[in-house]
Structures are given as C-alpha cells and as structure tokens.
Structure 1
Amino acid sequence: MTSKEILNIRNVRYFLMFRSSYFARFYYPVFTLLYLDYGLTLSQFAMLNVVWAATIVLAEVPSGAFADTLGRKKLVVLSSLVMLVEIAMIAFVPTGNPDLVFIVFLINRILSGLAMALASGADEALAYDTLKEQGKEELWPRVLQIQLRISSGVGIFVTLIGAAMYDVNVMASIYSVLGFVAPESTQDIMRIPVYATLFVAVLAIYAALKMQEEKKNLPSDGSKLATTMESLKLTLSTGKWVLSTPYVLFILLYYSLFEHTSRMFLTMNSQYYRAIDIPILYFGFIGAGISVLKILLAGQSRRLAESIAPKNFILIMGLATMATYYWISLGWSIYGVIPALVLIFIIMTMNIFISYHLNKKTESHNRATVLSFKGLMFNLGYGLIGGLYAYYYKLLSQGYTDQQIEEHIDFIASLSSFFYYFSFLFISISVFFYIKDRKKAIF
C-alpha cells in the first residue's frame, strides 16, 4: 500500500494532522530561554516540569480508561481545547510580578499535563483500530514512519521561524521594515512565538473534530457513576495485566527510561546550545537539521526496529545512549551538537520499536488504557529525573561564582548526571530482565 493510500484512511490522516499540529510549537527551539526571560530560574523551570509530569501521572491512566469507555474522540477534542487555553495563558500574562508569573506558569504546566494526558493513547488508539478494522494493522510502523516525516517537515518550518522570532537582530530588521520601534532584548519579543503557536492550536482542534469513532455502548444504567466505575475497573484490570505480562512490562520500563531521560535533556537543549556557544539564530537551523535527519532516517529507524531481535536491539540502544550522554557531558563547544543529534536518532528508533511491539501485544478493547500506562511510566520517570535534577543543580550551582554561572560552567558540570542516572537505571532494569528471562523467556 502506498503512502497516498494510507493517507486516504480518514482517522489516520487526521491523526497525523493532529500529532503534527499539536507538537508544532514555535517556542520549542528556545523553550528554556523563554522561561528564563519570563523571569523564572532554571531550578523553577525544572520543578515546573515535575508538576507537568505529576499532572500527567495523575490523569494519564484514568483518561485512557475513559477513552476506552466514553469515547476516544471526545478526549482528543477536549485535549486540543485545553491546549489552546494553556498557551493563551502564557501569551498574555503580565510579567511585572514574578510571583504572578510563577503561578500562571504553574497553572499552565498543570493544564499542559492534563491536555497531554487526555490525548495520550486516545489519538493513537483511534488510528490503530481503524487500521485493524480494515485488516491493515501491519501498516502501523509505516504510519509511524509517515508521522515522523510529516512532523519533521513541519518541524523544519517551525524551528527555523521560531528561532528567528527569538533573535533580536532578525526581529529588529522586520520591525524596521514595518515601522515599529526595534526590540532591544529577547524579552521584548518573547511572546511572538507563543502567539504563533496559538494559531497552530486551532489546527489541532480542527483535526480532532474531524476524527471519527463509532458510538460507545455505555453501561446498562447509562449513569455517569456507572461509566466512571467501568473506567476504573478497566484501569485496574489493565494494570494487573501489564504487571503480569513481562513482555509488556519490560517494554514499558525500557521505554520510560530512554524517553524520560532524553526528554529532560532535550527540554533544556536551548540552554545547552547557548552553553556551548551557539548563537540563538542557529537554534532554528539545528532544529531544521534535526527534522531533516528524521525525514532521511525514519525508514532506517523503522527497519532497525522491525529487523533486530528485541534483546539485541535494547542492548545496542542502551550502550549507544550511555556513550552519547558521556559525550554530551564533555560540553564541547560547537561540536557538542553532534551527540545531541545522535541522541535524537536513538530515541526516534526506540519509539518506533516500542510502539510496534506494544501495539502488537495489546487487544483493541483496552488499547488506549495500555498506551496510557505507557505515558504514565514515562511521566513517573520524568517527574523523578526533574526533581532530582532541580535539587542537584541547585546544590551544584552554589559552588560556582556569579561569573561562572553567567558563563554556564555550572550547567555544563551538571550534565554528567545524565550519564550516571541513565547507566545506573539501564543496568538495574537489565539485571532484573536477565533474572526474569532465565526463568521464562520474555522475548
């Protein structure tokens, strides 16, 4: 089946549109810098992301169960609406009062986490089950490959424009042409990429509304309480199934480790790029290069995920990730971009592997719930690493002078923690896997 024929499948088409627009945020290339320019500290930034992860942890699995009982489309639509509200909050918050800014960003992180939890699993389950109903579920890796390429293509545009929107010199030239007073610092232009993201949020709402789903059969009494109880029962039964199915359990454990560790680092990549002396304007070119890399290597990632035996695949990816984090911790000026690109390829490949194997082992009736457990385990890890990093960085930075902090020496020194953290947990999970696998083969 050609890519064009795959795109003719309605739910697959709007799933791709939803995913691409949902994550097309113009402020991502300068995510950390944006928070700092609003007046927050790096420790506050890390802790706000812990709140984000904690919100998802609390809402992730219940939302997945509600998606399986109430309907997946309803949750995807609600997610896109919440996304619009949370972006609007930071687009219009006044910055004169630091306490107010922190409170608004705190609420923003809660709403962002809720939006992520509502969509997580539901959109993917809608698309996958549409393929399964047509007897075409083997096309799912192809859909993920197409998603990578479309998202990466959109990402090229978003990252280039987003970084340019945050560059004072570029925006000064544009302001001059338009007859406006030229900005003097990034604080004068920091809202522009946020405004642009508001427009993209509307596209996500449109894609969510266009998805289709058969009407769910609610419990016989049709009450909200009965529906809630049904959702909770599904959550508990799915949780027991995950814990009692080693194949799925270890897939989720490895996924969480690879994903939450890389997400924590990549969330701070704008600070990392600045620390290794890369001008802000180039952030967009790096982001565009990453998107091109994803487009070119998406097929290779899919082939690796499908062709290498699971044990060998996980071992190779684990060792490569350890080496990459060590390389990152060296903080090489300019050339430090290379290990960041390697890390992105590793995670891209790992995500295809995880989705392929997890969906293959999951039944349709609880697919969204299982995928929500996937999100739950990721966010438990993300909350853990966020809290640990915020505490570690706060302690570490106390040993550096203001001048050294301004030169980001303390930040570079903190990066070795990623190597030790990932290595310790990867070895621990692998030892646990080895013990269980000796009793009964898991893969």
Structure 2
Amino acid sequence: MTHHEILKIRNVRYFLMFRSSYFARFYYPVFTLLYLDYGLTLSQFAMLNVVWAATIVLAEVPSGAFADTLGRKKLVVLSSIVMFIEIAMIAFVPTGNSSFVFIVFLINRVLSGLAMALASGADEALAYDTLKEQGKEELWPRVLQIQLRIASSVGIVVTLVGAAMYDVNFMASVYQFLGLPNPESTQDIMRIPVYATLIVAMIAIYAAFSMREEKKKPSTDGHKLTSTIESMKLTLNTAKWVLSTPYVLFILLYYSLFEHTSRMFLTMNSQYYRAIDIPIIYFGLIGAGISLLQIVFAGQSRRLAERIAPKKFIAIMGLATMATYYWISLGWSIYGVIPALILIFIVMTVNIFISYHLNKKTESHNRATVLSFKGLMFNLGYGLIGILYAYYYKLLSQHYTQEQIDHYIDFIASLSSFFYYFVLFIAISAFFYFKDRKKAIF
C-alpha cells in the first residue's frame, strides 16, 4: 500500500495533521530563552515543567479512560481548544510584574498539561482502530514513519522561522522593511513566535473536528454517572493488567526512562546551544538539521524497531544513550551539537519501537487507557527529574561566581547529572534480567 493510499484513510490523514500542527511551536527553538526573557529564572523554568508533568499525571489516565468510554474525538477536540487558550495566555500576558507573569505561566503549564493529557492516547487510538477495522493494522509502523517525516518537514520550517523570529539582527531588517522602529533586544520580539504558534493552533482545532468516530452506545441508564463509573473501572482494570503483564510493564518502564530524560534535556537545548557558543540565528539551522535527520532516518528507525529483538534493541539503545549523555556533559563548543543529534535519533527510534510493541499487545477496548498509562509513566518520571534537576542546579550554582554563571559554566557542570541519572537503565535491566529467568517476558 502506497503512502498516498494510506493518506486517503480519513482518520489517519487528520491524525497526521493534528500531530504535526499540535507540536508545531515556533518558540520551541528558543523555549528556555523565551521563559528567561519573560523574567523567569532557570529554576522556575524547571519547576514550571514539573507542574506541567504533574498535571498530566493527574489527568492522563482518567482522560484515557474517558476516551475509551465517552468518545475519543471529544477529548481530542477539547484538547485542541485548551491548547489554543494556553498559548493565547502567554501571547498577551503583560510583563511588568514578575510575580504576575509567574502565576500566568503557572496556569499556562497546568492548561498545557491538561491539553496534552486529553489528546494523549485518544488521537492515536482513533487512527489505529480505523486501520484495525479495515484489517490494515500492520500499516501502523508505516503511519508512524509518515508522521515522523511530515512532522520533521513542518519542523524544518518552524525551527528556521522560529529561530529567525528571535534573532534581533534578522528581525531588525524585517522591521526596517515594514517601516517599524528597530528592536533593541530579544524582549522586544519574544512574542512573535508565540503569535505564529497561535495561528497554527487553529489547524490543530480543524483537524480535531474533522476526525470521525462511531457513536458510543449509551449506558443502560443513560446517565453520565454511569459512564464515569465505567471509566474508573476501566482505569483500575487496565492498571491491574499493566502491572500483571511483564511484557507491557517492561515496555512502559523503558519508555519512561528514555523519554523523560531526553525530554528534560531537549527542553533546555536552547540554553545548551547558547552555552556552547552557538549564535541564536543558527538555532533554526540546527532544528532544521534535526528535522532533516528525522526525515532521512525515519525508515531506518522503523526497520530497527521492527527487526531487532527487544532485548538486544534495548541494550543497544541504553548503552548508546549513556555514552551520548556523557558526551553532552563535556560541553564541547560547537561540536557539542553532535551528541544532541544522536540523542534525537535514539529517541525517534525508541518511540517507534515502543508504539509498535505496545499497540501489538493491547486490545482495542482499552487502547486509549493503556496509551494514557504510557503518558502517565513518562510524566511521573519527567516530574521527578524536573524536581531533582531544579534542586541540583540551585545547589550547584551557589558554588559559582556571577561571572561564571553569566558564561553558563554552572549550567554545563549540571549536565553531568543526566549521565548519572541514566544509571537507572542498568537497575531496570538487572531487575528484568532476573525476572526473565523465572518466566520469559518475550
């Protein structure tokens, strides 16, 4: 089946549109810098991401259960609307009062986490079940490959344009062309990438409304209370199933470890690039290079995920990730971009592996709930590492002078914590190694 034929499947087409527009955020190339320019500190930035993760933890699984019982499209639509609101908040917040800005960003993180939880699992379940109904579920890895390539193509544009929007020299020429007074600092132009993201969010709303889902049969009494009880029962039953199924638990634990450590670092990559002496204008070129890497190697990632035995795959990816974090911690000027690119490839490959194996072992009736547990475990880990990193950085920075902090020496020193944290990979591997000796997991 050709890519063109796959794209003719309505829910698959709009799933790809939703995913690519939902994460097309022009401020991502300068994510950390944006928060700092709004007047927040690096520790506040880390803690706000903990709040984001905690919100998803609280909302993730119940939202997945409601998706399975009340309807997946409803949650995807609601997610897109909440996402639009949370972006609008930071687009228009006044910056005169730092305490007020922090409160607004706190609410923004809560809404962002809620939007992520609502969509998590529901959009994927809609697309996968459409394939399954047509007897084409074996096409799912190819759908993920297409998603990677589309998202990466969009990402090239978003990162190049987003980074350019944050470069004072580039925007000065744009302002001059438009007859506007030249910006003097990034604080004068920091809202422009947010405005652009707000426009793209409308595409995500359109895609969400365009998805189709068969209407759920009403509960026996037709009351919402019954649906709520059914959702909670499904959540509890799915939790028991996950904990009693070593194969699924194994997959979810590894997913969480790989994903939350890499997400924490990649969230701060703009600060990392600045620390290794890369000008802001090149952030977009790096982001475009990452997207191009994903396009070129998406097929290779899929083949690795499908063909390598799970135990061997995890061992290779785990050791490669440890080596990559060690390389990052060295803080090499300019060449420090290379391990960041390697980390992107590892994460891309692991995500295809996880989705492929998890969907293969999950039944349709609780697929969104199981996928929500996947998000839950990631965000528990992300919240934990966010708290640990914020505390560690605060303690570490006290041992450096203001001049050293201004040159990001303390930040580079803090990156070694990622390597030591990932030692958890060895602990989890040892646990499942001995467990597998009693009863084979794979």
Report the 3-state secondary structure (helix = DSSP H, G, I; strand = E; otherwise coil) of the residue aligned with 1:154.
Answer: helix
One-letter amino acid matched to 1:427: I
Report the 3-state secondary structure (helix = DSSP H, G, I; strand = E; otherwise coil) of the residue aligned with 2:135.
Answer: coil
Structure-2 separation of matches of 1:211 and 1:67: 14
Report the 3-state secondary structure (helix = DSSP H, G, I; strand = E; otherwise coil) of the residue aligned with 2:362.
Answer: coil
Aligned to 2:172: 172
Structure-2 separation of matches of 1:205 and 1:120: 15
Structure-1 separation of matches of 2:114 and 2:103: 17
Q: Deviations over 1:340-360 (max 9, x none)?
A: 000000000000000000000
TM-score relative to the length of structure 1: 1.00
Q: Deviations over 1:139-167 (max 9, x none)?
A: 00000000000000000000000000000
Aligned to 2:429: 430
| Shift of residue 405, structure 1, vs aligned partner | 0.2
The alignment status of 1:229 with 2:229, answered yes or no, reads yes
One-letter amino acid matched to 2:325: Y
Report the 3-state secondary structure (helix = DSSP H, G, I; strand = E; otherwise coil) of the residue aligned with 1:277.
Answer: coil
Structure-2 separation of matches of 1:433 and 1:2: 39
Structure-1 separation of matches of 2:377 and 2:217: 29
Aligned to 2:191: 191
Matching of residues 107-256 of structure 1 within 5 Å: 107-256=107-256
One-letter amino acid matched to 1:234: L
One-letter amino acid matched to 2:69: T
Aligned to 1:440: 439
Contact 1:318-1:426 at 8 Å conserved across structures: yes
One-letter amino acid matched to 1:73: K
One-letter amino acid matched to 2:292: V
| Shift of residue 224, structure 1, vs aligned partner | 1.2
One-letter amino acid matched to 1:433: F
Structure-1 separation of matches of 2:54 and 2:420: 23
Contact 1:49-1:386 at 8 Å conserved across structures: yes
Contact 1:69-1:218 at 8 Å conserved across structures: no
Structure-2 separation of matches of 1:217 and 1:98: 50
Q: Deviations over 1:260-285 (max 9, x none)?
A: 00000000000000000000000000
Tell me the matched-pair count: 442
Aligned to 1:267: 267
Structure-2 separation of matches of 1:398 and 1:218: 59
One-letter amino acid matched to 2:193: P
Structure-1 separation of matches of 2:214 and 2:435: 41
Structure-2 separation of matches of 1:340 and 1:394: 24
One-letter amino acid matched to 1:231: S
Structure-2 separation of matches of 1:206 and 1:188: 31
Structure-2 separation of matches of 1:304 and 1:224: 45
One-letter amino acid matched to 2:252: L
Structure-1 separation of matches of 2:217 and 2:111: 29
Structure-2 separation of matches of 1:214 and 1:340: 43
| Shift of residue 213, structure 1, vs aligned partner | 0.1
Contact 1:76-1:119 at 8 Å conserved across structures: yes
Contact 1:219-1:230 at 8 Å conserved across structures: no
Structure-2 separation of matches of 1:218 and 1:50: 38
Q: Gaps (5+ residues) in structure 2?
A: none
Structure-1 separation of matches of 2:222 and 2:69: 11
Q: Deviations over 1:322-352 (max 9, x none)?
A: 0000000000000000000000000000000
Q: Which runs of 4+ in 1 moved over 6 A?
A: none
| Shift of residue 217, structure 1, vs aligned partner | 1.3
Matching of residues 270-289 of structure 1 within 5 Å: 270-289=270-289
Report the 3-state secondary structure (helix = DSSP H, G, I; strand = E; otherwise coil) of the residue aligned with 2:437.
Answer: helix
| Shift of residue 222, structure 1, vs aligned partner | 1.2
Aligned to 1:2: 2
| Shift of residue 218, structure 1, vs aligned partner | 2.6
Q: Deviations over 1:355-404 (max 9, x none)?
A: 00000000000000000000000000000000000000000000000000
Structure-2 separation of matches of 1:254 and 1:113: 22
TM-score relative to the length of structure 2: 1.00
Structure-1 separation of matches of 2:425 and 2:131: 34
Q: Deviations over 1:176-213 (max 9, x none)?
A: 01000000000000000000000010000000000000
The alignment status of 1:41 with 2:26, answered yes or no, reads no
Q: Gaps (5+ residues) in structure 1?
A: none
Structure-2 separation of matches of 1:33 and 1:77: 30
Report the 3-state secondary structure (helix = DSSP H, G, I; strand = E; otherwise coil) of the residue aligned with 2:422.
Answer: helix
Contact 1:259-1:347 at 8 Å conserved across structures: yes
Matching of residues 91-110 of structure 1 within 5 Å: 91-110=91-110
One-letter amino acid matched to 1:304: L
One-letter amino acid matched to 2:385: I
Structure-2 separation of matches of 1:233 and 1:217: 17
Identity of aligned residues (%): 86
Structure-2 separation of matches of 1:144 and 1:110: 28
Matching of residues 381-400 of structure 1 within 5 Å: 381-400=381-400
Structure-1 separation of matches of 2:222 and 2:270: 50
Structure-2 separation of matches of 1:428 and 1:220: 48
Structure-2 separation of matches of 1:32 and 1:114: 21
| Shift of residue 435, structure 1, vs aligned partner | 1.4
Contact 1:259-1:378 at 8 Å conserved across structures: yes
